[in-house]
Structure 1
Amino acid sequence: MISAILLGVIALMLVGLFALTATNQALRRIHREDTAKFSITIHHHYYYRWIHQKLFTGHDFDTIYFIVVCSQGVARFLYVFLMMMFLQQTKIFPFNGEDISSVGIWLWTVLYYFLFIFLYIVLGELIPRSFGAHKPRTAIKILSPISSFFMILFFPISYPLLMIYRAFTHATISEDLSEPQMQVKQELIEMIQEADTGAVLDPMDKELIESVMTFRNRIAREIMVPRVDIFSLPGKTTIRDAAQQLEKEGFSRIPVYKNSVDEVMGILMYKDILIKYMEFAKNPDRPEILDTPIETIVKKTMYTPETKRISHLLQEFRKKQLHLAIVVDEYGGTEGIVTIEDILEEIVGEIVDEYDEDIELFTPLTSGVWLLDARMSILDIEEELEIKIPQEADYDTVGGYIYHRTGTIPTRGFVIDHDDFKIEVMKSNERGVEKVKITSKIFEEPSE
């Protein structure tokens, strides 16, 4: 008689586990997909809600989900505990003092254990998890009476645990459910790469989507024109001389500095020089118009730290209606410049106009071997050559990686051997490394 009662209670706990596990998964999915409709869904299908409304205010998801999780844990414990009691009552539990030498007793014990574990895994975990994840609203609608019953039944245990949890943490339970941002992005990128989109998305569309997904993680230092490559002019330069140099270099706007590049006073726009030339054309008897220092016509500029996210920088460009920013380091010195075009190129790819010169940062030599400009960024190497070079906060280019590894400026012939690649310095001077040869070990033929 006792065994039959225990078996019935075990079956009841298994039913509760099914309902609570499915509800757990359903609540997670509904909350993630449509937070605004969460309360409506719960209130329409849960008669447990009258307890919830009496004792709690706000945080519907947090409190209800916590009660579901606690009830699920209690149901698991009771299922295992009652299973042990049942095995002992039926005289086949091997530690109840009986003779355990009989092969039959051991066989029946193993079979009962297997049966209970099998039922728990299938009916208490796998099926309800799948049901709740794939059909969350259906699961709540069908199983809400059962899960409500167990949530009320175990509420005397769940409520004190909830109070303890709230006393020791300020985080909401929903925050614990959020997947790490980078993990989610990486999964989405992998889905896009593996998707057989055919006529829907071409390779360029996929690249655009991937660029948008990684856009928010990029910082100004990764896309800026470095200090050594900045073309700038001192503020005392005349408009006449500046026009000649701008025409030669082909820039539409450049930084203007006072004593050094670390003291940028503003941005000179080619349009303003044209205005002055138009003014001179109307007044040819006034040569002083073109002899005026360019510091008198520069426009204001903006400064940004090298660690600023380019997504935020783009918004600032739009807000201030500017196209160029000076990137500064922690001491206020000029590290480089970044333009709105540099930021947009991170999304749509390289933007080339009629006057841009095609600069090759890498040249293929043989299969798996390339000659690189040491200024080529590690991210571009990974994207173009499919070689992953370790990256840290101190550097962004292959040259920076070499300096980080060696602690010096290596001479021609210096080799860095990595598990996945080999880098050989091909050209360097006293100021830095200029050219390197990189060999991917993935392409290397196995030695005989």
Structure 2
Amino acid sequence: MAASSATAFMINGFDPTTADRLTQDEQNLIARRRKLLGPSYKLFYEHPVHVVRAEGVWLYDPEGNAFLDVYNNVPSVGHCHPRVVDAIAKQSKVLNTHTRYLHEDILKYSEDLLATYPDEISNVMYTCTGSEAVDLALRIARYYTGGTGIIVTANAYHGLTTAVAEISPSMGPNVPIGQHVYVVEAPDDYRGNGEDIGEVFAQRVEDAIKKMTRHGIKFAAFIADGIFSTDGILTDPPGFLKKTADVVQAAGGLYIADEVQPGFGRTGTHWWGFQRHGIVPDLVVMGKPMGNGMPIAGVAAKPEVLESFGNDIRYFNTFGANTVSIAAAQAVLDVIKDEDLMANSVKIGDYMVDGMKKLQQKYEHVGDVRGAGLFLAMEFVTDRTSKKPDAKLSLNVVNGLREKRILISAASPSGNVLKIRPPLPFTAEHADVFLSGLDEVLAANS
């Protein structure tokens, strides 16, 4: 099979068969990567980006050229934030160990973290990655309910472990969906024809529960991130997931909120994406934005959901909540509060949406603009009547921006939606650079 086919299921993936168009140094690096890391490791963009350092919202190549980062959510408070770097350095000089010893810092952080949650959620368990956190949440849900059936959306991505890959349809046809995993169409209000998307989506989930029950499968859990980031960044209207949560919990299943991408203040109005919808999930999974890229993630839980699992099953993760990662996580939480980054997410997110909507009026192939805080989307269509996805234009824009040293990517099953999620300290000046570049690229593709 041609190497280019391997990129078919990764939006914005580099095609290694085109490497001869790059500089000799870039070709050498790519060849070494493939030889040493194997073919699974993919690169972004038609012209991959070589980065050697980062600061704030900027990435730098070996020549010192600055690339505006409008994509990376993992360094949530900005690349190499001085307070996070300092916390890591100081703690690494003192102690780095696991959770089987008494230590104050994990308790202080857990108290501060859980204070951002509804009162009903008062326990937290730690892992190293979001994939591990989702894997653990699935184990808890199945143990608590005695069921095995899981419901996900049609282009969901939740992680890379064996169990979690089985609930991640976006990974493509070579990664089988689990036999007890039921897939429902995502809640796309842009194509909703005026329907109550909350009612429609809740009915889809209810129908899936009935179908799995009819096949002798006991329902265990529904899992989604509250902005459906890989399904196309489906943010509106706030509150539409409340009816789905009611359906899930009434059927005896658990609602698992995947907050790896929408969490830690990214939506601006709330700490957590599920709060935009007025729901209290049973389990919440968090990922590496927790530590600004350090290996720390976790599962927050209602204590009654965790009790039997915790009493009956010994769980341990050597590096989960190690003292250095906890120090990083504490610094991230403190920075979000002290620098008022949630308010900034609302302010700059609204500013960017306003600018993108002006471009929507200017360019007819921009079908929709939407977002929540600093997680934004611009959707391209061949025409606004049919709303047929225009993936070619989307990738042209992504790669056109890359040539202007502005980094974003794309999402949705068709890849026709710009995925825009800059670090939280983004400013209006940064937004203007992005909007100006986007205008120029759209003009060149009109």
TM-score range, shorter chain: under 0.3
Q: TM-score, normalised by structure 2?
A: 0.20
Which has the larger helix fraction? 1
Q: TM-score, normalised by structure 1?
A: 0.20
Please identify the structure whose Cα radius of gyration is greater: 1
Higher relative contact order (CA 8 A, sep 6+): 2
